[in-house]
Amino acid sequence: MAAHPVSPLAPATYPELPAIPGVRFATAEAGIKYKNRTDVLLCTFEPGTVVAGVLTRSKCPSAAVDWCREHLAGGAARALLVNSGNANAFTGRKGREAVALSAQIVSDALGVPEETIFLASTGVIGEPLPAEKFAGVTDALVSRQAEGPWMDAAKAIMTTDTFPKLASATVEFDGVEVCISGIAKGSGMIAPDMATMLSFVFTDAPIAPELLQRLLQPAIDMSFNAVTVDSDTSTSDTCLVFATGKAPIAPITTAADPRAQVFADALFDVLHALAIHVVRDGEGATKMVSVNVEGATDDASANRIARSIANSPLVKTAIAGEDANWGRVVMAVGKSGEPADRDLLSIRFGDLVVAEAGERAAGYDEAATSAYMKGEDLSITVDIGLGQGRATVYTCDLTHGYISINGSYRS
């Protein structure tokens, strides 16, 4: 598959993520699918590292997702092996054999239990994963383990991504700085039903695995579960958080500890930044769009309406064409199946009121609205007028580039 131009929404600069005590990693070229680029990431964790995770709710999950789901309950992690180019999904018995072989190869190389090894794969669905190729690079991966640079790790897990995705945050407890750093990949097949395509977060916080798991889901709901590129949920969606416990502070073991909420807020900041990067790298995207719904009967209804708007091909193509077609927004509200009253609706593009009281706004300015639509970062706000429910979903436009990328994905 040929490389695609870097998204016009790519960041101008990338953060230099700090080393996380207790985490080391290396990348390699295994030739899983791609040539002349890294496609394998191996992270190793010192004893005492705990893990929490949220996995796709797709009814057709990958073999790696099944493996992670089986071993997350143990709460302990010593390694993470990720490959790009092959999702190892819909591969039946061969897929299960591939994850078992992958774990065995890493276990033998590191001398750690297989149940403490976590796996993730991304790429083409339906092709058997040649896990034996990991054996050819594992010794080199182990010998080259280092604390950075994280950019190498972010690049190794990319598929149709046009830029790497990294984010970091720090918090201070008792004068000690605690770091949270993460990487992600995702560009298409993005309408997460848990997380994103793949995301891995690392921290030196000493935190109980049960509490880490409890804090992760709300952060996922407000970040990765609030984005959509094309309404398609991946078979491989995986978000794993690894906590080494190396920061010299008292362990955080309960939600009643005031440090737990501070940590949760910083974790959300990292996940949200990564999720926004995924949308900004949506396949063929030229515009980033925040869809805000307010005045719905409740938050859940607002979320469903926002998703109806954000996933509408007609809304997304109008945005791509810089067409201030608020009628398509009305259509998407109406088809959502949620409580709405035509005569109470109001719609804003940015700060510009385009419709209210069930019709075009009296002060509607076509020239001003068209000028607004030429921007790269847009917002659409819909007030349903029925209650206090509100939600925000992040999406991008739908261009010819999306078709070009996905029309030849396997080639």
pLDDT 10s digits, 376-388: 999 999 999 999 9
Share of the chain above pLDDT 90, in %: 88
pLDDT 10s digits, 109-144: 999 999 999 999 999 999 999 999 999 999 999 999
H or E element that contains 170: strand 165-173
- C-alpha span between 43 and 24 (Å, rounded): 6
**Cβ neighbours for 264, distance < 8 A, ≥ 6 positions apart:** 215, 218, 219
Mean pLDDT of 178-201: 85
Task: State the Cα torsion 329-330-333-335 to the nearest 10°.
Answer: -110
Residue spans of the domains in the chain: they are: 23-280, 288-406
Mean pLDDT of 7-12: 94
Beta carbons of 232 and 53 less than 8 angstroms apart: no
What average pLDDT does the structure give for the chain?
94
Nearest to 163 by CA among 281, 330, 282, 297: 281
pLDDT at 194: 67
Instruction: Please tell me whether residue 391 adopts helix, strand or coil conformation.
Output: strand
pLDDT 10s digits, 270-319: 999 999 999 999 888 999 999 999 999 999 999 999 999 999 999 999 99
Structure tokens at 31: 């030739």
| Residue for token pair 């002060």 | 363
pLDDT at 3: 58
H or E element that contains 64: helix 63-72
Q: Which residues of 91-112 are buried (b: 16+ CB within 10 A; e: fewer)?
A: beeebeebbebbbebbbebbeb
pLDDT at 35: 87
Binding-site residue positions for substrate? 159, 185, 196, 283, 406, 411
| Residue for token pair 């917002």 | 379
Q: What are phi and psi of 66, to 5 degrees?
A: -60, -40
Comparing 69 with 403, the larger pLDDT belongs to 69
Q: Which of 92-96, 235-239, 325-329, 335-339 has the lowest mean pLDDT?
A: 235-239
Give me the sheet containing 40-45, strands edge to edge: 23-28, 40-45, 79-86, 117-124
The CATH-assigned architecture of domain 288-406 is: Roll (3.10)
**Cβ neighbours for 101, distance < 8 A, ≥ 6 positions apart:** 131, 132, 134
pLDDT at 244: 98
Helices (H), 73-156: 92-110, 132-143, 150-156
| Dihedral sign (CA 178, 205, 258, 267) | positive
Share of the chain above pLDDT 70, in %: 97
pLDDT at 1: 45
The CATH number of domain 23-280 is 3.60.70.12: yes
Q: Which residues of 361-374 are buried (b: 16+ CB within 10 A; e: fewer)?
A: beebeeebbeebbe
pLDDT 10s digits, 324-356: 999 999 999 999 999 999 999 999 999 999 999
Is 196 one of the catalytic residues?
A: yes
Task: Choose, from 44, 49, 116, 196, the residue flagged as catalytic.
Answer: 196
Roughly how many angstroms between the first and final C-alpha of the chain, as a whole number? 5
Binding-site residue positions? 159, 185, 196, 283, 406, 411
